[in-house]
Amino acid sequence: MTAGQLFIWSFLRDEWAECPPDEITWLDRGLLSGNEDLTLHRAPRCAGFRYVHHRWELFSRDTTYRVYLAPHTGGLLPSADAVQRAARHVLPVAPARYEALPVVLDEGAWLVSVGTWVLPLRLEAAVPGGQAGQAGARSDKLPATRDSRVLSKDPLAAGGRPGDDAVAHVRGYFQRNATARRAMAYYYQEYIRGMAAPHPTAMMDVVIALNLTGEGAVSDYKKLLQGFIWQERGHARDLADFLLSNALLTPADLDEALQVAAANERSGVCGAARQRLRYRPTKDA
């Protein structure tokens, strides 16, 4: 069976954007609301599309919202309530650390709704003879608003464009360097947990918790990862989204990092690190 082509609508670019079959397309806070709706989750704690077993699936790890999938019959973009009433499939709220049973997408035009947000998509049969992508070049016009608001930022076009092998490069690096993977998971733990308005953990706290070599270790990891992904620095704000949206950092990675940190605290390693770095915590543990 040949892969079909899945497209989602980019509102501000006013065109269809193809979902790459070798990556997960997350229906996260950025894609659905331009990071406006803080009740929506970030990847990987949200719904998404993935290509597995020669088919496209809609799956959900969202622990807050049901995910609705309804046929799109054309015309103006309906409200979320209308999509929910017409839904052919409903993914329930996912239990913690588990997914709802995925839905296999059929060819055609669809609408997916999460919370108050609606996103159009379409799945087309693969075009024989290497003509993939031409169908997606059409600019079928759709209303450039969602939830009665015009978005101010296009998450698909945000930041620089990662290299073609960026995901594989980072995944290979994390497989070879577990310390770096745990450090970045600990650093971005609020993002992985899907907290509203997340902030990175203080770099010195990461260094002490995981007994890293020095206070610049986390910064060095960030610079190295930006080089792998964008071949340049200056994308620090995009780094967390890239790592989480491509499942390069997961809740399992954070659990591992927290277990190492807890063991270091119990064994006195953290205390020795504080003494070595002459670090005074900003608050009591």
- Inform me whether the pLDDT recorded for 235 exceeds 90: no
Contact at 8 Å (CB) between 83 and 16?
no
d(CA 198, CA 38): 10
DSSP string, 157-214: T-SPPPPTTHHHHHHHHHHH-HHHHHHHHHHTHHHHTT-SS--PPPHHHHHHHHT-SS
- Inform me whether the pLDDT recorded for 134 exceeds 50: no
Whole-prediction pTM value?
A: 0.49
- Which segment of 126-140, 218-232, 251-265 scores lowest on mean pLDDT? 126-140
Q: How large a percentage of the chain has pLDDT more than 70?
A: 82
Domain-wise residue ranges, the chain = 5-127, 166-277
Contact at 8 Å (CB) between 245 and 26?
yes
- For residue 44, say if its preceding peptide bond is cis, omega within 30 degrees of 0: yes
State residue 126's pLDDT score: 67
Name the amino acid, one letter, at 30. G
d(CA 178, CA 140): 46
- Which segment of 10-14, 21-25, 98-102, 241-245 scores lowest on mean pLDDT? 10-14
Indicate the fold that domain 5-127 takes in CATH: Tumour Suppressor Smad4 (2.60.200)
Confidence of residue 220 (pLDDT cuts 50, 70, 90): very high
Contact at 8 Å (CB) between 68 and 117?
no
Residues forming beta bridges with residue 165, ordered by sequence position: none
d(CA 204, CA 30): 29
State residue 12's pLDDT score: 55
φ/ψ of residue 8, rounded to 5: -120, 155
Longest CA span, the chain = 66
Confidence of residue 284 (pLDDT cuts 50, 70, 90): very low
Is the alpha carbon torsion for 187, 168, 30, 236 positive or negative? Answer: positive
- Write 251-255 long-range contacts (CB < 8 A, 24+): 251/44, 251/45, 251/97, 251/192, 251/193, 253/181, 253/182, 253/185, 253/192, 254/185, 254/186, 254/189, 254/192, 254/193
281 vs 170, higher pLDDT: 170
Residues forming beta bridges with residue 7, ordered by sequence position: 18, 122
- Which segment of 28-42, 144-158, 246-260 scores lowest on mean pLDDT? 144-158
Q: How many CB atoms lie within 10 A of CB 154?
A: 16
- For residue 155, say if its preceding peptide bond is cis, omega within 30 degrees of 0: no
State residue 2's pLDDT score: 44
Per-residue pLDDT tens over the stretch 162-181: 887 889 999 999 999 999 99
State residue 196's pLDDT score: 67
Q: Which residue has the tokens 């055609």?
A: 108
Average pLDDT over residues 136-150: 41
129 vs 146, higher pLDDT: 129
Q: Write the CB contacts of 162 (distance below 8 Å, at least 6 apart in sequence).
A: 229, 230, 242
Per-residue pLDDT tens over the stretch 65-116: 999 999 998 777 889 999 999 999 998 888 766 777 889 999 999 999 999 9
The half-sphere exposure of 285 on its side-chain side, counting CA atoms within 13 A, is 12
Q: The sheet that has 100-104: what strands, in order across it?
A: 25-27, 47-52, 55-60, 100-104
